[in-house]
Each structure stands twice: as structure tokens, then as C-alpha cells.
Chain A
């Protein structure tokens, strides 16, 4: 990132990653150059932290906020505020209308919600299970008498007076939003829509302004707990976020901006803060990194990418195959089962801050799942932490510079860490402190490696077909460890690893995606006429979703001809309960041949994901969902391209040496300043490349090479 002092830059894109502790901003100019700004987050009024972070970043370019903002065309936000609102149950007071007789189902949850996110030991340890408070309490829940069956047939016609009564009672209780979710409304929405209209009438009569959310208008997909939770999130958590985003947008406008903010959404695209389904922006930060990797891959020609991100508390992995993200349709988040399309990302509760303990009964080594988080470990005397962490191992083994942690803001004490490690782990296991610390690191690396491997084999592939991207604050410390021996095609650490999520947000497409449940069933030997009919049913759903996608773009001023559409579908063997999402190989489905192409695409994928022997074509097929994605092009950060220079790193990049322990011996590792390395430089381990926000470890037996895009390539030698 050249630090240019001239101010004739035209800043085009702003990416924001508002985390719990730090707010990162990422600016891209018309040449594609970029700069990162950092400031502490300000949860009370997020706009303040954002403005501060922006100013800090723009200073590097010698720009003021006004100068930059007047030019920016697009700004993308991602943050954790909505998630925190849900976790802390600080959302709006909502009312819920469900089927009469089923008023308890939301608070009953699914029992799975009592142990979601637990480690293995706690999943089986019954006395640790607990339910969170329901998002809507039972006394704000009402039932309406009606029933529709699984095929959409009316069993009990809607008794409208029960809906009116429910609406009046909830309105009288001063709710701030009303959510309606009736069984099988995704199949036949008539009753639910009628209830919605009755509630709207009653709200209007009351003279109050209470927004109404019918599940069929938002997430018309099967599984009532998922659908209801997600629709409640719209009312409970997304509406306040909409207000926040409105505020941020206004704050920027006051500073001269002309753009409308977009928000990173769970499906991997960005949507407007005015979008109807805003709940899908509940987690966005970690997705940014995946999108960034996808974009880098598209520009540089990597189609299969394993994205890996280590922070203080977790290791997140996502896979991009053939430039496509994997989408999970009924994920869980904040201990709630949901029906959002979510970029499939798996997390292990093991990060740099994870605690290390020995099981008192079996002496097995336990990593996490809890973590010291920002308090680092025993090595930081002021932290109050007494249990050793992964970071303590790093300090003991010379991976981290105790005097330059977070640019020297936090001073670490190696001796403290060493003593604690000896007492808690090394002595009980009969190992030296160094071997114990190195062993723990090896164990963590091995866990992460297995995790990566199993994710990739779950896709029916092998690491040899993938390029591994490693980023996040602690990612590059472990890159060598969790990739060693897996045989990745390439292992890449971007020089801007610590700001990679914000970069990814800036690179994300403006994309809407809508899903609809379908129930198309067809026998394996179905006649062509039936296949044609079924193709037409799917086509009709695509048309309906297309309308909704185009409508959203209209709101943001994009005419239909600007929108690129991509249909998809979900298919399973008839009778199964799990489907697979398939990107449609055809744009329209109208004939029996079209149908066969859809089936073929499904069979291919199924054999890859599970096993060829698990294919069951003799059962016939069900299409369970239609998907439509629409995107419009937006300006994106240009990937830097610099001239290659010599292999030898410049002298000014060298920072001396540090003792570094691995494979049972101490060696002297050469230290480098990351920012001072030049494209083309080649570094052979043992070496440690440091910058303020991250440390890249290149142990003996590895070498790294910095390419013209400021990407480090790590390989075993």
C-alpha cells in the first residue's frame, strides 16, 4: 500500500468492519489502491467510531473525510451489532401470532437449541444444557384458529375473528412489531396473508405504527422453528439495525457523502439497508473475508479456495469451489435455528486466546472452548488471566515479539508464561516447558489441519485441488502449521491479512437472493410430459423470485437490464430430508430435456458430497426449493500489481533475530518488517515477518515469496 501524499485521489469504495472492539475501514481509490483505517468501536453510537476510523485511514492518503466522501460511490457495512442485540436479548418488544394450540412452540424452541454451539463434552453432559429466553415471551403470543396441511390443503378454514382478537390484544400490549407464522404457510400462504391484512387493519384502527411481519413474505421455507425465529429476527433485531444504519448513513451524508450504505449479508452479497430482509445481515464480518478470498481468486485465477481465518477465539473455515460459495439453508446462529441462506462457514472454538488445560481425570490436553479473548494470556500481567493460552505458547517459543504485541501497545512477559506453562501443563505431563508448549501448538495445528481436511473431503475433493488463503490477526502465525503436509496447491497470506474482512466487504457484489420452498416430486421413470410440467412449475417459481429480486434493485435505482440473474434449485432423492443446493446449469426450465439436465447436475454433486454408493436415483427426485440471485456490478478494489524486484529482502526490512523453538530445538529466526519487503523477495525459514497487526511465521523447512500483488506464497521445501 503505497503511502501517497498527493490528494488528487478519487476514493471510490469504502468497506467497514465494525467489530466488538475495533472498527476497521477500508478505502479503495479509482486506481484500485487501498488503505486501512482503525479505531476503537463505539457501540453507543457506531457512527462515531466509523468516522474516527475513516479519518485515521484517510490520513495515510493525506485526505480529509469531506474530500474523500464526496467522491465515494459505494460503501459497505458489516458489523456485530445485530448479533449482539440478539445474544443480549436487547431487541424490540414483539408480539407473535401462530396457530391456536401451538402458542408454546416458539418458547419450547427445538431442544437442539439447548446445546447448540456446545463442545462434545457439554453436548453429552445433560446438566449443562439450558434454553435462552425466547425472543418473544409466551404472554405476547396469540393463536389463530386455522390449519393448512403439508400439501397446502385447508384442513380448518381461517376463523377471522380469532385473528382480529389476537391483533387487538397484542396492539393493546404496546408491542413494537407483530410477527405472524402459521404452519405450512410456505406451501399455501393464503391464511397467513389474510391474517397479516387483518392485523394491518387493526393496527391502522389503533392509530399506532406497528410493523407487521408475515413469515411467508420473508422466509417462505419449511420448518416452522427456523422460519419463525428468522422472521422474528426481522422484527426484533433488524429493525433497530435499520435505524442504526440510517443514522450512520446520515452521519456520512452530513460529512459530504452521496452514496447509500449497503450491508454485507449472510448469503455473501451485499444488500441495501433499506432491503426488506435485513435479518440476513446478522453476521457479516467473517463472511467478508470469504468474499475477499473469492474476489481475489476470480481476479488471479484461483477457482477452489479454502479460506481460513484465526482470531482470538475461533478458527473459521469456508470453502469456495469453482468460484462458488457453499450456502447453508437452515443454519444456526446465536443458539437459534434459522432459515437464512448463509455462506457455509465452520468454526472450531480454538484461537490464539484459547485456554489450555489438562483434564483432571484423564490428563488429556484440552484446548478451549473458552478463551482469554482480548486479554491474551498469562503473559500479559495486567490481564488477570491465570490459565495458560495458545498465545502464551507463542511467547514462550519465540513466535511473538513480547515488546511489539499490537504494535507495542501491550507488553508481554515471557517468564510469567513460562512459569505458568511449567506448573499447569509441562510438569504434569513430564515434558520440558518448551516441548509442552510446542506440543500444544502442534496439537492445535493438527486439529485445525484435520478440520480443513475433513471439510474438503466432505466436498468430495482433496487439498491438492485447493489454494489455501490464510488471514485474520492470528492466521499467519499458524499458517505453516495447519497447512503442513496437506498438499494444498498453494498457500497464500495477503500482506493485508488483518484488514482482510473489510477488504472483502468492499469487494462484495451488490446481490439479492431469494428462496422459496417447493414440493415437486417425480418418479425416476416419469414420462416426458410430467417432466415438462415439473420444469414449468420450477420456472414459475423462478419468475416469482425474479420479480422480487428486480424489485429490490429498483428501490436502489437499478433497472432490470442492469441486473444479472442466476437461478438455482434445491434437490433431493424423493423421501429424503436433506437437499443440496445446485446452481442451475440452465437459465430457464421449460422442457423434459431441461429437467434431465437439472437431475444430472444434482446426481453429480450428490456423488461428490456423500459417496457414489449413497446415490439413490431409483427413488426419484424432489425439488424442494427455487433460488434466484441477482447482481449488479459495482466498483471493486483493484488488486495491487507491482513490479517484481530481486529475491533478496532489502536490508531495511531486517529487524534482527529472535530465538525460536520448534522440533525440539532452539534456532535463531531472522525477523523482518512486513511493510518493508518488496515484491519478488524470497525468505527462507526460520524467519518471522512482523507488522503491527499480524505476525507471519516461516519456520525452518518453509520458504515464502512475495508476489506483485502483495501476496505471500508459503511452501514447504
Chain B
């Protein structure tokens, strides 16, 4: 070891602190003053607002520009077409100053990796030096899922560390049990694929050869992996150069002040925005999603994982009069034997992704917002697991369904303040994920991971419909990409790309519709594919009478004889599966083996050329009573293929009439009568709340519910005693009424025994939330 440095005891951070001393000081001051880093005054910003703004806009523009330039290096359509990458600039303590667009959830996750290095003595071993390169994708210290790979580069000025830059891309494969970045077969971390914990992978701006050799053989899609890494490294270096230029122009003192004041500025900005947009009070909501693992098409290695369960996230937002707020997730489900678990950082950081899309759409996106928010995630829940075996590869399965509830909650506040345009009823469940692998059309080992579901339907607002096939909650700049590009990346030809009728939730303003792509396997060898999405449960809800979006389903066809049918000139399935309840493709494929059901999660199934796969992207939820929708808009929806004709009457109470040219118009009189009749029928069916509650209570007392529902509540009660108390008092349940997982006829491994990553020797985890 370097004795000299021990004697000097001088840290690498500008001014001589060690990283740990630096962060400890900032955190102590933050806690003491409730201002980030104790910055009760922001000296630079107050004395020279012009310079402060210049620094911000120059750095922000540079970071955005680096992302645009670097992404052209990538080969993966996920990065290049879908923009699944992001670059963020951090101060020395690992708190983000500003970020590019893209998958901005990683503003927090890369910061968590930097903080992990700080807290675990990386400064001494392996050492942090100018021109080092680090790599991380460890979900146990904050990453969303292993396929998001971070490249982290420290920034030095005159030999002292002044900050960090992080770059992340979503890679197409991480060498997990099954091909594709978000595979489903594994139930533990050890099947999740290559996992890298803040590893030093390069020095002097050069990647180590052992790293290159090891990493490139740990994944299926080596070429994508290499080019993604070059994309991240090039972007980080562009931003490091930018910071050095800015310092040369504006001076290190100004930059140094800026790097901390910007975070405090972000915190204050959030508070001001909450004050302006919302109403103080408590907002409660809930999210659910299905984990249907008992089905034969879900092949997992462990019997104890072979169960149907429901994931559950009640949430409570408390907004105070001063614009501070608290988000509490008491009552959430335990982590599980599947790949839908999340780390506290990805859960909280991801909330910023959605808040920036509605509450704080500003260029001032940084860790200030995180410091401005109190989170409570009970330890042991699926979003704050207490076991180091958990798998994360598709944490988004429930992240998207839990968060949609938060938009719904905040939308009530926006509505109350009259910001009708800002209301967003909720995000779509961003699926289906078409994934699989084998040998592709180039005769190479390959994995596919279509990102068409970056363009789902959007939830309605309180003054207009949500837009269709347009967005995903994890990346506000959604896109479905060109079919010709997907066909380069996947051995699957398109037989259809069509707007999915009735996929958006009905309402006075309906949710945006998703779309569907019909793919035929073509030029693939030893090929597999699987489905990933919600099926039995609508994972979003409507608001104020609006309907949720349609849930998912799967359609796959094998042994289709399409080769012969094409040659014979027979009818070929194409376009969309327009009305799944009245399917037309089956009749065209009389001898085929077809799977059409609500089993929207499967594991690798074998496919061969001429087999079919339907990739259905979900819609968004609706706002307001459908009976209040302007009747002509309902006719327009039918004409435009956004609504199946039979729902015009049954859901909207609109009687259509021929309007010539094959178009539908509205029979006004019949519509008025129909709507009146529906309203009357509603009244007739209704019962007083007390009466309804009484009958529900009887069911609860009798435990008259599916095993999955009972398991869900039992697990929530165990981890969330306050939730249990509220449930008990709301339903007025007797003290001897108990619901225990142990009493249910399904296994519940993990119920009593767990062991956290923090229990490993020499590991200091960083806690970001109240537990």
C-alpha cells in the first residue's frame, strides 16, 4: 500500500476530504438544515443568476448532445431507435446535478452505485483515479434490472476529484437463463445473468482486456454488448471533456458551487411546484398485477415458485401545506420467487421519471427532487427486499402498475386545482415484451427483445383523450420504431401492425389505444420466444368513472402450414386480431396448434419458420363516465378503429347509424334514449353502501376468496401491521379473524427466513428511504 498517502491522509476530493468524509459532511448538513448540503443560501445563484443559468444551460445542452451523438455508435435498436440510454452528471458525493433525456430513472440508480463505492471504501481499494472506468449493473445496490448497464467515470480537476459522469444503456441480453433482457424463467438472482458490482474495468481511458474477454462471453449478443459499451464510454468522455472546458471558461470555484447549489435548487423547485399544482392532504390509491406461475407454460426450476399470486401496492401520498410531501407504501407485498422485485432506489428514482412527465416537467431534473421527498418502503416488500437471492430482471412488471396509481392520485389534486390538462389518469402496462432467441437470419447466436411497447396508449386527461401508441412510462420519448429496422434485428416478418381497438379504457375522455404487431417466424433456427405482460389483471384504473385499459392476452400459432397456404393462394392471417372474442385467424389455420388465452407470461417456447406470434401493446385508462362522451366521438372511434362497434352501445350508450361511404354516424334520439335507459338500470342495480359492505364483510369473514387473493392480503398484513389494522377496523373484523399464509394450501418460501445483502462481510449498504 501507499504509505505516503496514509501519512498525508489526504482524500481525493477537491480540498482534500476523502469521498466518505465529503458525503458524510453533506448528509449531516442536509439532515440538520433540511437544505441540501446545508445550503440555506445559494451563493452563486443569488449573486450571479446569469452565470448560474449559463452554467446550467451549457452543461445541460452538452449532456443532451452527448446522448444524441453517442447513441449513433450503438447497433442495438433499443438504444439507437428507442433511445434507451441516459447520461447524468454527478457532484463528488454522487448526487446528480443534471441529466440528458432518455431512461432518466437512472439519475438515481447510477448515483446509488457511486454512493456504494463511496461507502465501501473504493477510494482505498481498488482506488479511484483520473481516467478510470467503472461498470455496474447490480440490482442489489440500486439498479433497476441487470440489463441496464452503467458506465461510471470520475471527473478530476488538477488531480482532485470534482464529480462523476454516468452513462447507461438497456442492453438486449445479459446472459440470463433465457434469452432477452427481461427473461422470465429464473426465480433467483443467480439466474438473472451477468451481475457486475461497481467493478473497475479500465484505467487511462482504456478497458482492461480481462474485462473485455469475460464480459463479451457472458452474454448472447456480443456485438450489441460491445457497441453499447463504446456508446456509454464515448458519451461519458464527451461529458467529462465538457466539464473540463466549462471549468476552463468559468473557473473551478463557480463550477464547484454550482454542483451543489443545483441540487438544492432542484429540491426547492419541486416544493414550489407541489405547492402550485396540488392540494394538501392525503391521497390513497392501490395497484395490482398478476403473477400467474401455476400455468404449464411457465417453466421454472423450483416447485415453491410454481404458484399463482397477485402483487399488491397500496400507497399513501401526504402533501403538506409547505409543499413537502411523503410517500408511504405500507401494506405492499413481500418480494417473491419471480423476476418482478425492485430495489428501493429504482422504485424511488423511477417515481421521478413519472413525476417529470407531469408534476415537474423541467430541465431541472436532479437529486434535489429525491431530497425533497420522504419515502417509506417497508423492508421485506417487493420494492425493498430483505433477501439477497431475489431476481430483478423484469422489475418493471409491477413498477409500472404500482406507479400508475400515483399519477391517479396526483391527478385528483390537479383536477381539484383546475389543471385539467395536467390530469393523466395513469400509464399503460408497458407490455407485451416479445423476447426470445436462438440462431437468427445471419446464422449467429441471437436474442431478441422488441421495444415496440415503448409506444403504448396514454391515459386520458380531464379535457381530452389520451394519445394512442405513443409513450411508455419509463421513457417519455416513446417510439415504436420502423418495421424495417425491427426486421433487421429479429428473424420475424411483419404480417400486421394495427391500432388495437378498445385497448384504451372507455370514458368521457378515453385512454389512448395501443397497437398490435403480427409476426411470422422467418429464417430462424433453434428458435424460442415467450410472452411477458399483464393478462388476468388490468394493471391501471380509470378515474372519475373512466374505465381501465384492456388487459393482455396471448396468441401464438404453431404448425400453421402457412408455407402451403401462401403457395396455394389461401387466406393468410394479417393485420390485427381485431376482436379477440370473435377471432378470424383460427379459421384460416385449420390444422394449427394455437394458444389463445389470458396467460400473458410464459417461458421459452419453441418456434419455427411460419409460426405466428402476436405482439399486443396495451392502451391507457380513461377519464369520466363514458355516458358523458360526445356521441359523435364514439362514432369517430368506431370509424377510426379505436373502438369495437359493439361497445358503442353497451359501454357508451351510443346507437350508431350509417352515414354513407361505409362510415358510422350517430342516431341522436336513439342514443339519448339508450343512455337514459342505462342510467336507470344503474340505479336499479345499486344498493346502499352499508348494505353492500355488510355482504362483503360476510365474504371476508368466511374467507370466500381465491387462494391468490388470500395470499396477497396475508402477506401484506404480515409486513404492514398498520395496513392490517386499517383493514380490520374498516371491515369491523373480530379479533379472532386472522389470515395467515401458513394456513393456505400453497408454499410460501421466504415468508419467515431471509438474509439481506447487508449481512455479507464488509458490505455497507446505503439506505435511501425510511423502512
Contacts and interface: CB of A to CB of B under 8 A. Distances in A.
Contacts of A524: none
Nearest to A358: B49
A150 B468 CA distance: 28
B424 A126 contact: yes
A168 to B, nearest CB: 15
Interface string B387-430: 00000000000000000000000000000000001101000000
Contact of A577 (B80, B233, B422): B80
B482 A155 contact: no
A121 B471 contact: no
B463 to A, nearest CB: 10
Most chain A CB within 10 A, of B77, B357, B361, B421, is at B361
B484 A184 contact: yes
A311 B759 CA distance: 63
B481 A577 contact: no
Interface string A126-156: 1111110000001100010101011100011
B40 interface: no
B493 interface: yes
Contacts of A159: 569
Nearest to B273: A361
Interface string B179-209: 0000000000000000000000000010000
B319 interface: no
Interface stretch (B307-315, B515-523, B749-757): B515-523
Given A111-B471, A111-B480, A157-B566, A127 B358 contact: yes
Contacts of B477: 112, 115, 123-124
B364 interface: yes
B494 interface: yes
A431 interface: yes
A224 B499 contact: no
A101 B75 contact: no
Interface stretch (B22-30, B55-63, B148-156): B55-63
A151 B442 CA distance: 11
A611 B237 contact: yes
Contacts of B365: 124
A439 interface: yes
B488 to A, nearest CB: 5
A110 B522 CA distance: 24
Contacts of B657: none
A110 B493 contact: no
Contact of B363 (A103, A120, A223): A120
B223 interface: yes
A110 B479 contact: yes
A610 B72 contact: yes
Interface residues of A, number: 77
Interface string A274-293: 00000000000000000000
A575 B223 contact: yes
A114 to B, nearest CB: 5
A86 interface: no
A443 B57 contact: yes
A241 B730 CA distance: 71
B77 to A, nearest CB: 6
B494 A102 contact: yes
Nearest to A114: B470
B461 A576 contact: no
B500 to A, nearest CB: 10
A362 B268 contact: yes
A111 B574 contact: no
Interface in B41-76: 46, 49-50, 53-54, 56-58, 60-62, 64-65, 69-70, 72-76
16 contacts: A101-B574, A105-B483, A105-B497, A108-B469, A111-B480, A123-B476, A126-B458, A139-B661, A222-B485, A224-B484, A443-B53, A443-B54, A450-B58, A454-B61, A577-B81, A613-B234
Given A129-B471, A224-B482, A610-B234, 5 more contacts: A114-B470, A120-B363, A157-B566, A362-B364, A578-B80
- CB-based closest 3 A-B pairs: A101-B574, A125-B361, A439-B50
Interface of A: 99-105, 108, 110-112, 114-115, 120-131, 138-139, 143, 145, 147, 149-151, 155-157, 159, 183-184, 222-226, 359-365, 429-431, 439-440, 442-443, 446-447, 450-451, 454, 458, 485, 573-578, 610-611, 613-614, 616, 619
Interface of B: 46, 49-50, 53-54, 56-58, 60-62, 64-65, 69-70, 72-77, 80-81, 101, 104, 205, 223-224, 226-227, 230-231, 233-234, 237-238, 249, 265, 268-269, 272-273, 276, 356-358, 360-365, 421-422, 424, 441, 454-455, 458, 461, 467-471, 476-485, 487-488, 493-499, 515, 518, 520, 522-523, 566, 569, 572, 574-576, 639-641, 661-663
